[in-house]
């Protein structure tokens, strides 16, 4: 087996391994191995050092240049920010229970859907009071006293 065939097989294994691992990285390293196989087959890189250089550079360029474009093909669109933001908007207007005292303009903990959340409030809220979610910023809920 010659070097071009070995590079091709390494690339094939890496591309196929992408389907068993998350992250959309191995496919581009596999494509880099195929670029090294092509340049070796064409006789442009006969020395192992040159082959390794082509492999490293092409894998890096492919990974940096194409990963963002092709990630949705492998991961799917369900992980996009649009759907995540839409899900968080559903929190607004929902009721929470205060788990720790929240001073006016301060933060504390609230319970929402059975889970403790960090919450900030302009209102002073006491332990056990009900509040309403007005905004979501990351993992922090902004709440106000229930009217």
What's the pLDDT at 68?
74
Instruction: Determine the CATH number of domain 84-145.
Output: 2.40.50.140
pLDDT tens, residue by residue, 11-51: 999 999 988 887 778 989 999 999 999 999 999 999 999 99
Query: Distance from CA of residue 111 to its chain's centroid?
Result: 27
Contacts of 109 (CB under 8 A, 6+ apart): 98, 99, 100, 116, 117, 118, 119
Which residues make beta-bridge pairs with 111? 97, 116
Q: Tell me the pLDDT band of 69, cut-offs 50, 70 and 90.
A: confident
Mean pLDDT confidence for 128-132: 93
Q: Tell me the pLDDT band of 82, cut-offs 50, 70 and 90.
A: very low
Tell me how far apart the alpha carbons of residues 42 and 21 are, in angstroms, rounded to a whole number: 32
Q: How many residues comprise the chain?
A: 147
Please list the residue range(s) of the chain that carry CATH number 2.40.50.140.
Answer: 84-145
- Give the global pTM: 0.50
């Amino acid at each position: 087996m010659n070097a071009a065939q070995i590079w091709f097989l390494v690339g094939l294994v890496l591309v196929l391994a992408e389907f068993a691992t998350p992250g959309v990285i191995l496919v581009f390293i596999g494509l880099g191995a195929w670029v090294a196989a092509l340049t070796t087959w064409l006789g442009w890189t006969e020395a192992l050092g040159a082959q390794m250089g082509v492999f490293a550079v092409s894998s890096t360029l492919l990974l940096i240049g194409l990963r963002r474009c092709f990630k949705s093909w492998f991961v799917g669109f369900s992980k996009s920010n649009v759907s995540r933001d839409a899900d968080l908007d559903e929190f607004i207007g929902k009721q929470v229970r205060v788990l720790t005292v929240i001073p006016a303009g301060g933060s504390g903990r609230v319970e929402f859907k059975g889970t403790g959340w960090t919450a900030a409030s302009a209102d002073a809220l006491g332990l056990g009071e009900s509040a309403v979610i007005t905004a979501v910023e990351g993992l922090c809920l902004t709440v106000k006293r229930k009217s």
